[in-house]
Amino acid sequence: MSHEERLINCFKNVFPELRDDEVRRATSHSVADWDSVAMVTLVTLVDEEFGLQMPPENFEEMMSFELFLAWIQESLHDA
C-alpha cells in the first residue's frame, strides 16, 4: 500500500463521509468537520500509521491532505 493510500485511510477514519477523491482535495477550509479535535486525532493517526512524530509547531501548517502527504514523504525520506 502506498503512502498516499495509507494517508487516505487515516483521513477517512477522521472524516468517514469523504470519498477517496474528496480526501485527496481535502483542506481545513473545505471539510466542515476539520476542527482542532479532528486535527489532533488526524495527527495521532498519521504518527501511528507511519511511525513518525509530528512536531507541534507543524500543526498549524498541516491544513491539507497534500501538505500531510508532502510532510510524510519528506520525513520518511530523511529517516
CA distance to 11, 27, 34, 49, per residue, from 39 (Å): 10, 11, 7, 15
Residue 10 C-alpha cell reads as: 487515516
Provide the residue range defining the domain that includes 44: 3-78
CATH, residue 71? 1.10.1200.10
Per-chain mean pLDDT for the chain? 95
Q: What percent of the chain has pLDDT over 70?
A: 99
pLDDT the model gives residue 14? 98
Q: What is the pLDDT of residue 77?
A: 86
**pLDDT band at residue 21 under the 50/70/90 scheme:** very high
Note the pLDDT of residue 79. 59
How many separate domains does the chain show? 1
Q: Count the alpha carbons within 13 Å of 76 in the hemisphere toward its beta carbon.
A: 14
Tell me: the pLDDT tens digits for 39-70? Answer: 999 999 999 999 999 999 998 899 999 999 99
